[in-house]
Amino acid sequence: MISSFRKLLRGKPEAPLPAIPDGERVFAIGDIHGRLDLFTALIAAVEAQDERRGPAHTTIILLGDLIDRGPDSAGVLTRARDWQASRTARGHTLRILMGNHEEMLLEALDRVAVLRSFVTHGGKETILSFGVDPQAFIEATWDEVQAMFRAAMPADIQRFILGFEHMVRIGDYAFVHAGVRPGQPLETQTPADLRWIREPFLSSDKSHGAVIVHGHTITDQAVLRPNRIGIDTGAYDSGQLTALMLEGTERWLLSTAEVDGQITTNLRPAV
């Protein structure tokens, strides 16, 4: 009886903190949306932090929506492809998730109806970043815009985007673009939900079988909840691009921000 009473006083044991496996390190980078300047600065910051922290099997994950809205989507895609190739050549890992904007881009090349939506949601900036003449774009019919876009899109960049992934799982974390469908096992999540979902994911307090690291939904600062971490800080508009760094049970937020034309870097614990 006394033993049972003592157990009640102690309460439930604390759940173990989510962790990355020993010897591994992860950097997840939120939605870039055409901000090549912020992305270039964050690449340098990530590489510097990785070197400073010593040997580890490091995986870098881009959470999708590299394109649209910002001024240089073509440059971001090229830089991401080159960074992936460079890391692979050095025996390191860089994985890229397909966001809803990449999905729209691929479909817009074949379907005019999707092209209209793509342009409305920031695709115009992407099309122009590949060298399409702005005046010709304004004067063109939708069929002509599609033809210009097809002609401007390099085949190697299109193949690169087609290779983007749906989900990455490492330790107690799962990395996706938008979120997951609550109550559904991670193994059976649909690509549509992984790239597009907001509710009921954002307001759910259920366990998803892993801590979900995602972008897609813009917030002023990173959102850290027991079941999810959101790191889309609206780079194209706010001037702040955010990365999450994970090692063991520790978490940090690494960000680059542009203020009055100057880009600064900030590192702080994710609490």
Give the tens place of pLDDT for each residue, 97-114. Answer: 999 999 999 999 999 999
Judged against a pLDDT cut of 80, whether residue 75 lies above it is answered with yes
pLDDT range class, residue 9, cuts 50, 70, 90: very low
Judged against a pLDDT cut of 80, whether residue 58 lies above it is answered with yes
- As a whole number, mean pLDDT of residues 140-148 equals 98
Judged against a pLDDT cut of 60, whether residue 213 lies above it is answered with yes
Of the candidates 55, 17, 31, the one whose C-alpha atom is nearest the C-alpha of residue 171 is 17
What does pLDDT average to over the chain? 95
Could you read off the pLDDT of 109-139 as tens digits, one per residue? 999 999 999 999 999 999 999 999 999 999 9
Of the candidates 118, 190, 197, 109, the one whose C-alpha atom is nearest the C-alpha of residue 154 is 109
Judged against a pLDDT cut of 90, whether residue 226 lies above it is answered with yes
User: CB neighbours of 18 closer than 8 A, spacing ≥ 6?
Assistant: 171, 172, 173, 210, 211, 249
Helices 155-162 and 73-89 sit at what angle, rounded to 10 degrees? 70
Measured CA to CA, the distance from residue 82 to residue 86 in angstroms comes to: 6
Q: Domains in the chain and their CATH numbers?
A: 21-97+155-269 (3.60.21.10)
Measured CA to CA, the distance from residue 215 to residue 217 in angstroms comes to: 6
